[in-house]
Structure 1
Amino acid sequence: MATEGTPGTASIDLSSGTGRLVVAGDWTLPYYASLHAHMRICCNQVSDHTAVDFTGLGALDTAGASLLADLLGPARVARLAASTGLAAERAALLQTVGSALAAYCKPARPRRSKGLEDFLARIGAGVESFGKQTLLLLGFVGIVFEALGRNFWRPKHWRVTSLVSHVEQTGLNALPIVALLSFMVGAVVAFLGATVLADFGATIYTVDLVGYAFLREFGVILTAILLAGRTASAFTAQIGSMKAREEIDAIRTLGLDPVELLVLPRVLALLVSLPLLTFIAMMAGVVGGAVVCYATLGITPTMFINLFHEDIHVRQFLVGIAKAPFFAFLIAVIGCMEGFKVAGSAQSVGEHTTSAVVQSIFVVILFDAIAALFYTGMGW
């Protein structure tokens, strides 16, 4: 038996012919560096069939046991500990360390980033996410239509008070910002049009430019984008906060339908508000253009109105206003849907509020582009 305080060693005894690993001395943490050097010398000469002699083993701790497990293999160390006649405490330590290392799975090395592969993977993930989001939106639209059809013939289920309240919030309270923004954009469009058309001696057509721009596109698109940022986010935050506080679950517990109670009044309110705000935005934009025409081109209000009446047909107004109900429905549905998707934390409310604004603006612009192609194809 090795004396106390003897540094541990590991050597190969070739006298038996087949080779024998002799483990001696103290295999403890203070001798870790020297033991590791012995391991490097012996590791190439040790195989699964090499006999092991533990008779000279002195003190042993977990550091030494882990080195023996690295040298012989965790599974073999656990088997040898039970069959070589070691003291009970050392056999138990070797078995514990060997079993633990045998069951341990080394973490996989992080995959090295590959630029093109990662780029294509992100594109695929984005397309998949877009597809799932589209299916969710279509499903929620179906739920809203089902609730609307179910309650259309039941006046007792109409939430008139809630509807009027949401019309005030989404329409009346948004009126100043919509009118002011449309007026300023109309002034900018008229100023730029007058500047460009002056090179061709056609400044009189600035009236037509303002009329076509706001009646067909700018009036409805500016209003829809403003409400997508203002109203869709509000709908998501309101419903999401209720979801986080488990009020939605309480509504279901009372036997009420959250879609009927929370979604329908908001959707119908926006269907009323957005067309009205669109009309006001059109008028404000035209007035802004008329002010610039009078200030820079000398076109009086009477002349502006006469030119507007002669060149701009009512069809241009109908083409623009017809898009407002579709925009209103999509904005309201997306805002409410994102509110129901809130997971229950303040962070989730913020994330889905941002998502509602982004999705609403994207859908509005996409639908407007599709409508423009359709109108062009129809000759409108």
Structure 2
Amino acid sequence: MAATLAPSDQLNGSIFSPAGALTIVRAGSVARELENTPDPLTIDLSRVERMDTVGAWLIHRSVRDRGAQVTGASSELQELLRQVAEADHPAPVRPVGERGAVAELGAWTMEAGRTLVGLLGFFGATLVGFLNLIRHPKRFRYNAVVQRFDVVGVRALGIIGLMSFLIGIVIGQQGAVQLQQFGAEVYTINLIGRITVRELGPLMTAIMVAGRSGSAFAAQIGTMKITEEVDAMRTIGVSPIEALVIPRLIATVIMMPLLAFWAMLMAIFGGGLFSWISLEIPPLTYVQRIAEVVPATDLWVGLIKAPVFGFIIALAGCFQGMLVANDAEQVGLKTTAAVVQSIFLVIILDAVFAIFFSSIGWI
């Protein structure tokens, strides 16, 4: 039965007597009727058959703000009103100023520490999974690895190639503008060759793979957590680490050097095209100059960093996916966290590699 609201003026005040269902469907009309009912107000709930939290909130607000009296409520309605009243408390005020900044920094540090410990634990579980597969090679899923080769590597060639090609053009253009001041435009080739092979090739590839594949890993595994497929795997004796994590790790580690090398080639090609059109450097001269100024150590530096970056990206993506709880909102949050965490760790590792290779003379 639809709710009917019947306010009536009495000598001792106004009585508001709704009937039927007092739910969110009639929230707007109920609120207007309550506002138009003069004080002192008595709310008679004897004819209310059903009430949800929205209706209970409207009644509670009238009691809290206007001192209304509630009569005729059944035991179920009284319990609902009591729960709403208990939940009505002001939101905690966040500290401001220096203490607030310190508190936020401390909370962020604690969260980062917990995440790092969890990631290290997940890394240990992954190593155990690798050892189990070595002891039982028949459990290794070749088809899953090959499928990830396609997803992580083949389908990423287009976007990574285009990105690297444009980056090569940008590096050439910006470098030529600065070097023209000294009449040294020819050294633009040195800039393009060394920075793309040693740094930007593997680094930009890692960032692209983190945004593309790392986020996909977190979303896929997180969705499987919500649909309880991961729990079903454990129930039938299948390790989620072996079935879901290790194939993605292997595929990413193997494909990253190939993608990084592809990115280097496309960046050099983009820089060469710019040099030919804008600086009028012939392609043959450009290629010969690249071979002269880019040492083999630069290529090895880029190819050594790439699989390590791939391992970190896949590990972080799978780790965040495994953290998803039974909440669809968690999928988006953990996917975002996977991308941020992957890029952050990749940049830190890149700095560590730079210090290490400089210390051994690969500069």
Q: TM-score, normalised by structure 2?
A: 0.74
What letter matches 1:190 in structure 2? G
Match of residue 296 from structure 1: 278
What letter matches 1:136 in structure 2? G
Match of residue 333 from structure 1: 315
- The separation in 2 between residues aligned to 1:107 and 1:335, in whole angstroms, is 38
- The separation in 2 between residues aligned to 1:108 and 1:228, in whole angstroms, is 41
Where do residues 232-251 of structure 1 align in structure 2 (5 Å cutoff)? 232-251=214-233
| 1:356-378 Cα deviation digits (max 9, x unpaired) | 11111111111111211222222
- The separation in 1 between residues aligned to 2:91 and 2:251, in whole angstroms, is 55
- Deviation of 1:353 after TM superposition, in Å, equals 0.6
Of 176, 181, 187, which residue of structure 1 is paired with 2:163?
Answer: 181
Are 2:347 and 1:365 equivalent residues in the alignment? Answer: yes
| 1:159-200 Cα deviation digits (max 9, x unpaired) | 100000011001000000000100000011011111111111
What letter matches 1:294 in structure 2? W
Label 1:155 to 1:300 Cα distance change in 2 as closer, same or farther (>3 A): same
- Deviation of 1:309 after TM superposition, in Å, equals 1.4
Of 108, 126, 132, which residue of structure 1 is paired with 2:114?
Answer: 132
Of 314, 324, 343, which residue of structure 2 is paired with 1:342?
Answer: 324
Label 1:187 to 1:114 Cα distance change in 2 as closer, same or farther (>3 A): closer
- The separation in 2 between residues aligned to 1:309 and 1:173, in whole angstroms, is 30
Match of residue 168 from structure 1: 150
Match of residue 353 from structure 1: 335
- The separation in 2 between residues aligned to 1:170 and 1:151, in whole angstroms, is 22
- The separation in 2 between residues aligned to 1:293 and 1:247, in whole angstroms, is 54
- The separation in 1 between residues aligned to 2:89 and 2:346, in whole angstroms, is 47
Match of residue 146 from structure 1: 128
Of 266, 278, 281, which residue of structure 1 is paired with 2:260?
Answer: 278
- The separation in 1 between residues aligned to 2:89 and 2:205, in whole angstroms, is 54
Are 2:289 and 1:307 equivalent residues in the alignment? Answer: yes
What letter matches 2:172 in structure 1? A
- Deviation of 1:150 after TM superposition, in Å, equals 1.9
Would you say how many aligned residue pairs link Structure 1 and Structure 2? 286
Where do residues 158-237 of structure 1 align in structure 2 (5 Å cutoff)? 158-237=140-219
Runs of 4+ in structure 1 deviating by more than 3 angstroms, as ranges, are 106-114
Match of residue 258 from structure 1: 240
Label 1:121 to 1:305 Cα distance change in 2 as closer, same or farther (>3 A): same
Where do residues 81-92 of structure 1 align in structure 2 (5 Å cutoff)? none
What letter matches 2:236 in structure 1? L
| 1:25-55 Cα deviation digits (max 9, x unpaired) | xxxx98xxxxxxxxxxxxxxxxxxxxxxxxx
- The separation in 2 between residues aligned to 1:371 and 1:196, in whole angstroms, is 28
Residue aligned with 1:343, SS = coil
Match of residue 306 from structure 2: 324
Q: CA RMSD in A?
A: 2.6
Residue aligned with 2:326, SS = coil
- The separation in 2 between residues aligned to 1:322 and 1:294, in whole angstroms, is 31
- The separation in 2 between residues aligned to 1:145 and 1:112, in whole angstroms, is 42
Match of residue 156 from structure 1: 138
- The separation in 2 between residues aligned to 1:155 and 1:136, in whole angstroms, is 28
Residue aligned with 2:278, SS = helix
Residue aligned with 1:315, SS = helix
- Deviation of 1:341 after TM superposition, in Å, equals 0.5
What letter matches 1:281 in structure 2? A
Label 1:117 to 1:149 Cα distance change in 2 as closer, same or farther (>3 A): same
- The separation in 2 between residues aligned to 1:135 and 1:334, in whole angstroms, is 12
Match of residue 104 from structure 2: 122
- Deviation of 1:115 after TM superposition, in Å, equals 1.4
- The separation in 1 between residues aligned to 2:260 and 2:133, in whole angstroms, is 28
- The separation in 2 between residues aligned to 1:155 and 1:235, in whole angstroms, is 24
Label 1:110 to 1:222 Cα distance change in 2 as closer, same or farther (>3 A): closer
- Deviation of 1:111 after TM superposition, in Å, equals 5.3
State whether residues 194 and 293 of structure 2, in contact with CA within 8 Å, keep that contact through their aligned partners in structure 1.
no
- The separation in 2 between residues aligned to 1:114 and 1:337, in whole angstroms, is 34
Residue aligned with 1:174, SS = helix
- The separation in 1 between residues aligned to 2:290 and 2:272, in whole angstroms, is 10
Label 1:312 to 1:118 Cα distance change in 2 as closer, same or farther (>3 A): same
State whether residues 94 and 100 of structure 2, in contact with CA within 8 Å, keep that contact through their aligned partners in structure 1.
no
Match of residue 269 from structure 1: 251
- Deviation of 1:108 after TM superposition, in Å, equals 8.9
- The separation in 1 between residues aligned to 2:249 and 2:239, in whole angstroms, is 15
